[in-house]
Amino acid sequence: MENKITVSQLQQVMQEAYETYKTNNEGANANYIPFLANVPSDLFGIVICLQDGRILKVGDTSFVFGIESVSKVPTAILALKQYGAQKLLQMIGADATGLPFNSIYAILLENDHPSTPLVNAGAITACSMVLPIGDYKSKWDAITGNIEQLCGSAPVLLEELYKSESETNFNNRAISWLLKNYNRIYDDPTNSLDLYTRQCSLGITAEQLAIMGATIANDGINPITGKIIFDAQYAAKITSLIATVGFYQHTGDWLYESGLPAKTGVGGGIVGVYPGLFGIAAFAPPLDSAGNSVKAQLAIKYIMNKLKLHIFNNNKPVIITE
């Protein structure tokens, strides 16, 4: 059975999701990074980028916000490109931690293995792996250049966020030295942590994130620029990582309810990947207790459920152009 969805139906359901949750005031901005606490809480936007490059959007889709942990996705892609899938598995791993994003306990439990590049420990390790080792400036250019290619336009560094985060990242400092202790960091620990903190402080829009999601959904070809950004074989690898740990300790609940591999960030952004169909991003700063945007989650779940798009449904979704 085919699940035929028209583009205008998709746009209408997005609009409904937006109207339904626009005034929801649950959750609170992240406050452990002072900069994030001051971002206007009522911002809300949803974007879908289809595999053919068409963009559907509603709300605050061009507001520049902190990418935060969503940055773990592009840097994991960079590590896949530079090292290949097998080495990434050996050097970082691909396991869900089932624990919060900044868990130290997860490192102690699997001390030979930071688990996955999509939690803080594995993401700091991924930053340490970015080539060329020992050359901070070139590593940074590789990280930002890769994000620019995935999104089709450049991210901007939010200097104030970077400063705010650098001054308060005590837990992450502990993580990077613990990784060093277990020989799970492959460059200078302080510089690797700094690269991680700086990539989390990049400013991005929901539209850019949706294009990044669509590039992954489209086997590594950016649907806007038409350029091949990464080898098609890595699309399923990165989507597996996203599906297993994108919502940290709530990933199972999220997948069960939404049916979409997606990655969150404490800046309020979520990017989702529907292989072969679209990338979706939603943004709203107030978070739940696990650090995931309340309204972005509700909006994506609404769209997925209303259109019966759960990734494990046996109903072959096709998007029809009228």
- In the complex, the residues that contact ligand GLU under the rule CB under 6 A are 68-69, 101-102, 120, 165, 172, 200, 265-266, 291
Min CB(12)–ligand GLU separation in Å:
31
Nearest distance in Å: CB 32, ligand GLU: 7
Residue with tokens 């700086």: 198
Burial-class residue 85 by CB neighbours within 10 Å (0-12, 13-18, 19+). middle
CA atoms of 100 and 102, how far apart (whole Å): 6
- The nearest distance, CB 159 to ligand GLU, in angstroms, is 15
Strands 269-274 and 262-264: antiparallel
Cβ 3 to ligand GLU, closest distance in Å? 32
Question: Do 225 and 49 contact (CB within 8 A), yes or no?
Answer: no
For 86-95, letters b (16+ CB in 10 Å) and e give eebeebbbbb
In 110-133, which positions are buried (b, 16+ CB within 10 angstroms) versus exposed (e)?
beebbbbbbbbbbbbbbbbbbbee
How do strand 262-264 and strand 45-50 relate by DSSP bridges? unpaired
Tokens representing 114 are 């930071």
**Using CB atoms, what's the residue nearest to ligand GLU?**
69
As a whole number of angstroms, the distance between CA 158 and CA 294 comes to 23
Closest separation between CB of residue 295 and ligand GLU, Å?
A: 16
Strands 317-320 and 3-6: parallel
Instruction: Give min distance, CB of 317 to ligand GLU, in A.
Output: 29
Q: How far is the CB of 263 from ligand GLU (least distance, A)?
A: 9
Cβ-contact 302, 17 below 8 angstroms: yes
Residue 255, Cβ neighbours under 10 Å: how many?
20
> Phi, psi (5° rounding) for residue 319?
-100, 125
Shortest Cβ 302–ligand GLU spacing (Å): 23
In angstroms, the CA 184 to CA 189 distance is 10
